[in-house]
Structure 1
Amino acid sequence: MVYLNEVCVLDFNTGDKRQLWSTLRSVQRFLKAQGYKRGSRKGSSTYHLSKANAEARNAYVRRMNAIIDTTDRPHVVYTDESYIHHHYKSHHQSLYDPNDTQSTATKEKHKGRRYCFVAAMLDSPTMDSKIMALDIFTGGKSKAKEPKDYHGMFDTDYYVAWFKRLLDEMEASEIANAWIVLDNAKYHKSLPKSTPTSGRRKSVLVDACKAFDIKTTGNEYKSELWGLLSTYIKANIKPMIVDMAERRGHSVVFTPPHHSDLQPIETVWAIVKGEVGRQYDDMTKFPEVKVRLEAAFANLKPDSIKGCVRSVQEKLKLLHEHLAQVDALESESSAASGNSSDDDSDSD
């Protein structure tokens, strides 16, 4: 509404609450009369990528696409976290009597407690694909004590300890010089605990500048000191797991935001959850879910895992071709625009 007021479609005093709410109600009635509805549109969702996210996507596609068909490609280890609810099932009762107007389908309100799990998935040119470092756990003694977002069940300390376990398993399996692929979760990018933060006292930031040999005049405000430090930290201090991986000879590759479809382990999660969900009935106890989940992981065949990877590789190829075509069209457009400008100059 503020925008409509700015472009003179509406005229009201934004500082007057009575006018503001009166105008809002009028706009709502108008939109309703025009047939607009509140809520999400049915169908697929799309994201408008920021420039930074688009650049991250392009860099990831270029890097991963380059190794798809090479004979000397590195081992790639995909990692991710997920969860499954006590009452998760892959089927729903959909049979109903169309003449029964009293019976209405209701949405489940209680999904029960959940098991969180984290694992890695190996894709190798010389070894069978497999699941590594699987860990399944609950995050609270009751449903009420669990965070709403399952990512809240993971933290830096837990993930660093799990990542060390993964590196140890990779070493035991003689997996060297691997690419470890993971998403941009906050705890994946945690810096060492000694790294200064913007919330620290000014004296701490001054000492940090001295420790990092950052030149200051002594007259800077705290915000200016943090600006100097944040620039240095971004350029010189690596996330803990990146440093851990590099010390073992591996590289960490972060997937681009909003592109979970480029993570083959997501498809593995769907396979595993589907197997657990198909076994659910009203008598299923919470501990049985873990037993079935462990069995579902154990039943994964190397060919099934490899198939998930191949599916994503096909998507990578298509996306790479699309981006290359976009570049070619933009180059042609720029060249045509340049020629047009030259012709105009000649005519003058």
Structure 2
Amino acid sequence: MGFKYAKRNDKKYFYERKDIVDQRHRYLREIRKYRRMQKSIVFLDETWANSHVAPEKIWLDETDEGGWKRPSGRGKRLIILHAGEDMGWIPNAALVFRSKKQIGDYHDEMNSKHFEEWFEKTLIPNVPANSVIVLDNAPYHNRVIDPVPTKSSKKDVMQKWLTDHGITWERSDLKSDLMKKIKESNPRKAYATDVIAETNGHVVLRTPVAHCELNPIELVWSKVKGYLRVNNTSFKLADLESLVPAAFRSVSQEMWRHFCTHAIRKEEKFWEKDGLLEDAIDEFLIELNVDDDEEDEISDDEELDHEDRILMSADYEE
């Protein structure tokens, strides 16, 4: 009958949500424009590695003996932050530090203060002039300067915001009146990273939510972690940390170029698909009211697709 019993792919339907399609198409238009302008496109992201990381398969003798005994648990954790482009890693831009936690989401170990300090003092001085810096929607990447009040904000906060932005209000105004004036001013969010980048002649571009496949550094991280996995023999955090520079060197300029080209192919597929989806979504919205403020249920750390996993495992000539 043409049916098969398989794992459900919720991300597939998430991709077709109107707000996500709009977000994705804005990204695709912007990155196309910057490529036509021949700007350097710099991709950044974080990853992690545990001290007990090891290959899942090893050579064994006939008695199933061989290799080394891996300690139980995941061990202590390194957090790794870096950036690169089609010419390779951005020089002198790596940040590697030891996590205070062994479990939980590694994103909890980074905050906007630390990220912005690295962004301004380590990354920005080393990227090519007039670069486009691509990052995802992690909260610490996107600290809002002068946040816009919401309906739940206190009345005095709304009043102060309006005053700071040169908008008149009356003491008799209710919160609903103040909120209406705020919305009518059509405020735009201002992000700290954008301000830092623009002050130094660069532009920040954000990938759509849950579209990690558009960032080639995700494939780069697979190679870096693969190197650490194979060469980690002592299972000590200090030794794992000492392997990181060599793991970076294991990802050649050729690999970076190949992964960036792969991301461009992904962009082209989405561009074509979105053109076909546009009319279908318009019809669909007649029957379904999409809430743009709905909380996203799929993170940027979702698995990459089958094609990406094949690419991650490919070998390259130096």
TM-score w.r.t. the length of structure 2 is 0.72
- Which of 93, 98, 113 matches 1:138? 98
Seen in structure 2, the aligned counterparts of structure 1 residues 209 and 295 have a Cα distance that, compared at 3 Å, is same
Whether 1:129 aligns to 2:88 is yes
Question: What is the distance in 1 between the residues matched to 2:33 and 2:148?
Answer: 38
Indicate the structure with greater helix content: 1
Seen in structure 2, the aligned counterparts of structure 1 residues 51 and 208 have a Cα distance that, compared at 3 Å, is same
Deviation at 1:94, TM superposition (A): 11
Partner residue in 1 for 2:73: 110
Indicate conservation of the 8 Å contact 2:219/2:259, yes or no: yes
Partner residue in 2 for 1:23: none
Seen in structure 2, the aligned counterparts of structure 1 residues 230 and 119 have a Cα distance that, compared at 3 Å, is farther
| Mapping 1:5-44, distance limit 5 Å | 42=7
2:94 partner SS = strand
1:83 partner SS = strand
Same amino acid, percent of matched pairs: 24
Indicate conservation of the 8 Å contact 2:90/2:126, yes or no: no
Deviation at 1:113, TM superposition (A): 1.5
Whether 1:285 aligns to 2:236 is yes
Question: What is the distance in 2 between the residues matched to 1:250 and 1:305?
Answer: 21
Seen in structure 2, the aligned counterparts of structure 1 residues 217 and 302 have a Cα distance that, compared at 3 Å, is same
- Which of 273, 294, 300 matches 2:225? 273
Partner residue in 1 for 2:310: none
Tell which deviates more after alignment, 316-325 or 218-227.
218-227
Indicate conservation of the 8 Å contact 2:148/2:187, yes or no: no
| Mapping 1:68-79, distance limit 5 Å | 70=36, 72-79=37-44
- Give per-residue Cα distances to partners, 1:297-333, cap 9 Å, x unaligned: 1332111111110111111122222333445x769x9
Question: What is the distance in 2 between the residues matched to 1:330 and 1:208?
Answer: 41
Question: What is the distance in 1 between the residues matched to 2:130 and 2:187?
Answer: 24
TM-score w.r.t. the length of structure 1 is 0.66
Indicate conservation of the 8 Å contact 1:77/1:181, yes or no: yes
Deviation at 1:48, TM superposition (A): 2.7
Number of residues paired by the alignment? Answer: 263
Deviation at 1:257, TM superposition (A): 0.7
Indicate conservation of the 8 Å contact 1:91/1:277, yes or no: no
Indicate conservation of the 8 Å contact 1:89/1:280, yes or no: yes
Between structure 1 and structure 2, the one with the greater Rg is: 1
- Give per-residue Cα distances to partners, 1:96-150, cap 9 Å, x unaligned: x9xxxxxxxxxx9721221111111123xxxx3223411000132x63xx6x111
Partner residue in 1 for 2:136: 183
Question: What is the distance in 1 between the residues matched to 2:147 and 2:272?
Answer: 41
Partner residue in 2 for 1:247: 199
Deviation at 1:202, TM superposition (A): 3.2
Question: What is the distance in 2 between the residues matched to 1:84 and 1:314?
Answer: 29
- Which of 144, 149, 156 matches 1:203? 156
Name the amino acid aligned to 1:179.
V
Alignment RMSD (CA, Å):
3.1
Partner residue in 2 for 1:9: none
Indicate conservation of the 8 Å contact 1:205/1:225, yes or no: yes
Partner residue in 1 for 2:30: 63
- Give per-residue Cα distances to partners, 1:28-53, cap 9 Å, x unaligned: xxxxxxxxxxxxx6375524333221
Deviation at 1:205, TM superposition (A): 3.2
Question: What is the distance in 1 between the residues matched to 2:184 and 2:221?
Answer: 38
Question: What is the distance in 2 between the residues matched to 1:254 and 1:55?
Answer: 13
Partner residue in 2 for 1:164: 120
Whether 1:295 aligns to 2:246 is yes
Seen in structure 2, the aligned counterparts of structure 1 residues 311 and 94 have a Cα distance that, compared at 3 Å, is same
Question: What is the distance in 1 between the residues matched to 2:136 and 2:176?
Answer: 30
2:140 partner SS = helix
Indicate conservation of the 8 Å contact 2:78/2:241, yes or no: yes
Question: What is the distance in 2 between the residues matched to 1:312 and 1:306?
Answer: 10
Seen in structure 2, the aligned counterparts of structure 1 residues 223 and 274 have a Cα distance that, compared at 3 Å, is farther
Indicate conservation of the 8 Å contact 2:148/2:189, yes or no: no
Deviation at 1:258, TM superposition (A): 1.3
Partner residue in 1 for 2:49: 84
Question: What is the distance in 2 between the residues matched to 1:47 and 1:216?
Answer: 46
- Give per-residue Cα distances to partners, 1:160-209, cap 9 Å, x unaligned: 10110211122xxxx222111000111111123x6575576533432332
Indicate conservation of the 8 Å contact 2:227/2:250, yes or no: no
Name the amino acid aligned to 1:255.
T
